[in-house]
Amino acid sequence: MTFLLVRLAALGLVLSVLTGCRGQSDQAQVEFTVPPGASLGQVTDTLVARDLVAHPRLFRALARVRGDDRHVQAGRYQVAGDIRWQSLLTHLVEGRVQTIPLTIPEGFTVAQMAPRLAAVAELDPDEAEALLNAYAEEEERWSVPGPGLEGYLFPDTYHFAPGTSLSTVVATMTEQYRSFWTPERIERARELEMSRREVTTLASIIQAEARKAEEMPRISGVFHNRLRIGYLLQADPTVQYALGERRSRLLYADIDAVADHPYNTYTQSGLPPGPIGAPGEGALEAALHPEDTDYLYFVARPDGSHIFTRTLAEHNRARIEARRLWTELQRELDGGHDD
């Protein structure tokens, strides 16, 4: 019994020493990387090299006592130079790795996202774009309606560890899209007799048209009205998408150049085959809950708002008014430039 008490007291003393140990680095913050599959011994060697652990045997003993020796997670870490060993092990086991933000604005296309995704995955932009094109052929893998990934990489700010695989990034973003579809929203789409693909496609057009979020439900109401009575949507952003580039001013020649393109809503009836960008939650909600209105037309003012009208005659007058406002703005800009 006496021997056992002595052993327990000694163990308690050792644990007390271990839990009080700190790193010895003079640096305020220390960075290090744990490779996938690294053993506790290899991780400890790295920590010793970074002056975070001065007594490797004691550190490994603490890890085994805590049961952490087989649960260290790979990744890039940043910790205080004088971090206590217990906190250091907690970082390693919980995978508190260094992350970088990935912000995807609403309305971005996959092509616009590619450079940002490449930076996170530490890939060449061309390589990332090629992978995204390949992933677009695997709709079932990502559980999205398709066609491809366009519209289903949900716009948001994410945090990923540097070097996170592109497939993991895509999986996270498509999961964020799927999480939007609550049972209530699925039921609402059924009430509208629309599929999730159709709602997302319409939302992507609303997103591209709207410059003011408060106008989204009204713009949605216009498009729902046009779809109901069989009018062409005549949405400029769909032609821009068909052209493969955005232009400051869309000409009739541009519309004619892609007359047979399935995404040209000036020549093709109904919704295009899929989204033209990634709609945010506001645009998706607007597509599901359009304003109850009898408007059929709208035209943009320079301030981003729109003039909404009910008849073609009203619309033509609104276009003249909008053109006058745009001309005045251009005149002001030209005058300011001359000064």
Assess whether 142 and 220 both reside in one domain.
Answer: no
Domain-ending residue, one of 66, 94, 122: 94
Assess whether 126 and 78 both reside in one domain.
Answer: no
Phi/psi at 40 (5° precision)? -60, -40
**Interior angle at CA 278, CA 296 and CA 176, nearest 5:** 125
d(CA 78, CA 147): 41
Task: Give the confidence band of 18 by pLDDT, cuts at 50, 70, 90.
Answer: low
Taking only the tens place, the pLDDT of each residue in 254-292 is 888 899 999 999 999 999 999 999 999 999 999 999 999
Torsion of CA 165, 171, 177, 179, to 10 degrees: -120
Assess whether 255 and 283 both reside in one domain.
Answer: yes
Domain-ending residue, one of 145, 162, 180: 180
Assess whether 290 and 191 both reside in one domain.
Answer: yes
Domain boundaries, position 235: 183-295
Task: Give the confidence band of 57 by pLDDT, cuts at 50, 70, 90.
Answer: very high
Assess whether 219 and 315 both reside in one domain.
Answer: no
Assess whether 117 and 213 both reside in one domain.
Answer: no
Assess whether 304 and 274 both reside in one domain.
Answer: no
Residue 316 counted as domain residue: yes
H/E segment holding residue 168? helix 166-180
Q: Assign 11 to helix, strand or coil.
A: helix
Assess whether 189 and 175 both reside in one domain.
Answer: no
Percent of the chain with pLDDT over 70: 91
Residue 11 counted as domain residue: no
Domain-ending residue, one of 94, 110, 126: 94
Percent of the chain with pLDDT over 90: 70
Residue 273 counted as domain residue: yes
Q: Assign 159 to helix, strand or coil.
A: strand
Question: Is residue 75 left, alpha or beta, with left meaning phi > 0 and alpha meaning psi from -120 to 50?
Answer: left
Q: What is the mean pLDDT of the chain?
A: 89
What is the per-residue pLDDT for 191? Answer: 97
Residue 320 counted as domain residue: yes
Task: Give the confidence band of 2 by pLDDT, cuts at 50, 70, 90.
Answer: low
Assess whether 129 and 164 both reside in one domain.
Answer: yes
Over 70: is that where the pLDDT of 303 sits?
A: yes
Total number of domains constituting the chain: 4
Residue 14 counted as domain residue: no
Q: What's the whole-model pTM score? A: 0.80
Assess whether 218 and 153 both reside in one domain.
Answer: no
Assess whether 276 and 194 both reside in one domain.
Answer: yes
Cβ burial, residue 135 (10 Å; 0-12/13-18/19+):
buried
Is the distance from CB of 297 to CB of 309 less than 8 angstroms?
A: yes
Residue 13 counted as domain residue: no
Assess whether 82 and 123 both reside in one domain.
Answer: no
Residue 213 counted as domain residue: yes
Residue 12 counted as domain residue: no
What is the per-residue pLDDT for 265? Answer: 96
| 332 or 39: which leads in pLDDT | 39
